[in-house]
Structure 1
Amino acid sequence: MSRKWRVLFVLGILAVLTAGCGASAQPQAQPPVQVEVIVVYPTPMPTQIPAPTAVPLKLDDTPRIALISAFDGELYAFRDEGNIEETLVVDGRTVYMGTLAGHDVLMTISGVSMVNATQAVTTLIERFNITHIVFSGIAGGVNPDLRIGDVAVPARWAEYQENYFARETSGGFAPPPWVTPIAPNFGMMFPSCPDVVLPGSPPDLETTMCWWNADPTMLQVAQQVATSIELERCVDADHCLSETPVVRVGGNGVAGPTFVDNAEYRSYVWDVWRADSLDMESSAVAHVATDKHVPFIIFRSLSDLAGGGPGENEIGTFFGIAATNSARVMLAFLEAWP
């Protein structure tokens, strides 16, 4: 019996009982009547969305270039080269405001990995007048032609760990029938590209985006200074790179929420994405910058080979060289930037 008819049935019983009690002068004992009590809820109204809250207040109106690194060790490689005029704490992150290489800048760390980078860049754009974004840091090397200490300045970035994890069957790993893989899988992992709502598109219209492009003018300036920069080769007298590091402008970079130290997976990333480097923040920075119409460029120096080296991961030994070399290229870029 449907709820509607059950309710009507109960109401009918109550009406009969009420009428019977009023008609008899000498009521007779009646057996107990079991009545089912049903709570009837009204049809839910559409959710009322509150009016938009006020746009966060700008903390500074000066047009500035945002200089960002993932963590302190990367930021310190260039922070002290600038003239810090004011220090703020915004959403828990220290923001250093001042000048560097003749430009008004702010400097901060994003925190490691994709969500932290997304949050940090969004906050900076909303609370400050950011004209350009420049990210500097270390990365794992993927391109077999690049070595530790080299600096990659990719022209485009992908969120390469947007994956479908497939179930294993007797015939191997099988993604759902509605999934169309964009590239070969790595075991159960079938790569995909995120669907995003682009600025200026009709409301809620999603577009599949595999790549986020760095600003071509910024890349051009980076290319102009690439061959004139002297990069570090030695940590100390006992730890030197076999060859002098170089700068590579262009090509692909990828980023995702995992630290990679696996030779087989590194080879797979090279085969599928042709990436020069991989890290844990850059594609999130590129995604937000593109969404907010802020030109960006990202410098990444290779601190390790993402599992492709002959021994243990090299980041502990060559982190300092990588952070310094990335910062040097970034500073040369800023000095040449109009």
Structure 2
Amino acid sequence: MAAKLVTRCSLLMQVLVFFLAVVPDAFALPLNRLKSLTVIEEVNRRGPYLGLITVIESEENAFFATGAFKPHKTHPFVDLSGRRFRVGKIHGEKVIYVRCGVGMVNAAAATQQILDLFDIKGIIHFGIAGNANDSLSIGDVIIPKQFAHTGIWDWVNLYSTTNLSDVVHLDIASYNVPKGEGTNLLGHIGHRNEEFYSELGKPNTAQPLFWAETSKHWLHLAANLENLNSTMNLSDVVHLDIASYNVPKGEGTNLLGHIGHRNAEFYSELGKPNTAQPLFWAETSKHWLHLAANLETSLSNGFPVIVFRGLSDLAGGQSGENAISKFGPLAALNTAKAVVQFIKTLQ
């Protein structure tokens, strides 16, 4: 009996040693999360805040390069789910900034996190993007009025009927190369509306959505930035030979010439609902793709949202190396300056 008791105690000690060795590692993540949530509770007592979101590191670097962001002395940041939410002020306005990371899942997840966890009164999304509008130039900053996420496609068999509820139809079979040589078998593509769930809508009931619009009252305030263009010190574009970026390629020379030592201008697409924006199509530029996710998540939760985009490249329309590697930092800095000025205007 004594031998059995010793054996059982020995096993118990082994289990206890194993438990003490393993449990600290197992509980490390929840404890870190608990600490972050405690800090968030303290931060929220000083709210509400403007939520600021960028996507990539170069946009974040440009934002901090303005020197406008002043970190909170006690809680300068909160780390949660691998992201760093930075707490501070810009021109006395309380803000929380986060870099969401590349991809629509990251964009939507980070936006939902900042809205759920912090005392937020609205979202400002900003960064760089491709441009397909000849009236705008590299380095310009725009504030689009509306966006369409066009990533929901139905690919239909050549001999099937396209869904009549689709917003857009594309009959690929009609675009053979070389032209006139039979019919290809790619069929049709139809773009569907988003299923949009909103705090302002009926629970568990989706509404069809094509155009997602940014908040009108913030757009109205942002319109005043055009009058402040000269005071924002937007960076210069050194030289860009637009004539070399013809589409289709090789068909003569366009008349746009080149940009040389000119100040980037601030553009706003406000009040032009029927005017084509620089680029809506998410397939063409990954930067606009993130934007659709941020925008719809903010609107779904019932928060005001506005978007600033600096034009960094021609969205694949150029020959040779993409201009984003050369002009991305400039476009990002111009955008950050415009955002800082807009926050100042909000006061």
Give how far 1:74 is off: 0.3
SS of residue paired to 2:219: helix
Residue aligning to 2:25: none
Query: CA contact under 8 A between 1:71 and 1:112: conserved in structure 2?
Result: yes
Larger Rg over CA atoms? 1
Structure 1: gaps spanning 5 or more residues: 1-55, 262-277
Identity across the alignment (%): 24
How far did 1:136 drift? 1.2
In the alignment, which residue of structure 1 is the partner of 2:7? none
- Within 5 Å, which residues of 2 pair with 1:31-42? none
Letter of the 1:233 partner, please give it: D
* Among 322, 343, 347, the residue aligned to 1:334: 343
Q: Does the CA contact (< 8 Å) of 1:304 and 1:314 recur in 2?
A: yes
Structure 1 counterpart of 2:170, from 185, 192, 210: 185
Q: Deviations over 1:115-140 (max 9, x none)?
A: 11100000001110011111110001
SS at structure 1 position matched to 2:280: strand
Distance 1:196 1:100, change over 3 A: same
Structure with the bigger percentage of helix: 2
Q: Which one of the candidate residues 70, 73, 91 is aligned to 2:81?
A: 91
Q: Give the one of 258, 266, 269 matched to 1:247.
A: 266
Aligned to 2:59: 74
Tell me the alpha carbon deviations over residues 280-300 of structure 1, each in whole angstroms, 9 at most, x when there is no partner. 211111111111111111100
Kindly tell me: are residues 185 and 107 of structure 1, through their superposed partners in 2, closer, same or farther at Cα, counting changes over 3 Å? same
1:293 to 276, 296, 302: 302
Residue by residue over 1:230-267, the C-alpha shift from the partner in whole angstroms, topping out at 9 and shown as x without a partner, is 3212469xxx94343222222546363x4649xxxxxx
Matched, 1:104 2:94: yes
Contact (CA 8 Å) 2:50, 2:124: kept in 1 or not?
A: yes
SS at match of 2:321: coil
Distance 1:235 1:81, change over 3 A: farther
Q: Is the contact between residue 157 and residue 212 of structure 1 (CA under 8 Å) also seen in structure 2? A: yes
Checking the alignment, whether the CA contact within 8 Å between 1:233 and 1:241 is kept in structure 2 is: no
Q: Find the counterpart in structure 2 of residue 140 from structure 1.
A: 130
Report SS of the residue matched to 1:144. coil
Scaled by the length of structure 2, what TM-score is found? 0.68
TM-score, length of structure 1 as denominator length = 0.70
- Tell me, yes or no, if the aligned pair for 2:198 and 2:301 is still in contact at 8 Å: no
Equivalent AA in structure 1 for residue 311 of structure 2: L
Measured after TM superposition, the shift of residue 179 of structure 1 is 4.5
* 2:198 pairs with 1:198: yes
Q: Report the 3-state secondary structure (helix = DSSP H, G, I; strand = E; otherwise coil) of the residue aligned with 1:247.
A: coil
Does 2:90 align with 1:64?
A: no
Among candidates 124, 140, 144, match of residue 154 of structure 1: 144
Residue matched to 2:218: 218
Quote how far apart the aligned CAs of 1:186 are.
7.2
Work out which of the residue numbers 298, 303, 319 in structure 1 matches 2:312. Answer: 303
Query: Residues 192 and 143 of structure 1: is their aligned pair in 2 closer, same or farther, counting only changes over 3 Å?
Result: farther
Name the amino acid aligned to 1:328.
K
Contact 1:153 1:248 in 2 (8 A): yes
1:171-182 matched pairs, under 5 angstroms:
176-182=161-167
Deviations 1:32-52 (A, max 9, x none): xxxxxxxxxxxxxxxxxxxxx
Matches of 2:141 and 2:60, distance apart in 1: 16
In 2: Cα distance, 1:235 partner to 1:106 partner: 34
Counterpart check, 1:319 vs 2:328: yes
**Cα deviations across residues 98-124 of structure 1 (Å, max 9, x unaligned)?**
111220001110111211110000000
Count of residues in Structure 1 that have an aligned counterpart in Structure 2? 260
Cα offset, 1:204, TM superposition:
2.5
For residues 127 and 134 of structure 1, what CA distance do their matches in structure 2 show?
17
Q: Is the 8 A contact 2:53 2:99 kept in 1?
A: yes
CA contact (8 A) 1:255 1:281 kept: no
Q: Does the C-alpha gap of structure 1 residues 143 and 246 become closer, same or farther in structure 2, counting only changes over 3 Å?
A: same
Paired residues for 1:112-127 under 5 Å:
112-127=102-117
CA 1:311–1:299: 2 relative to 1, 3 Å = same
CA shift for structure 1 position 82: 1.1
Q: Secondary structure at the match of 1:134?
A: strand
Counterpart code for 1:254: F
Distance in 1 (alpha carbons) for counterparts of 2:200 and 2:140: 38
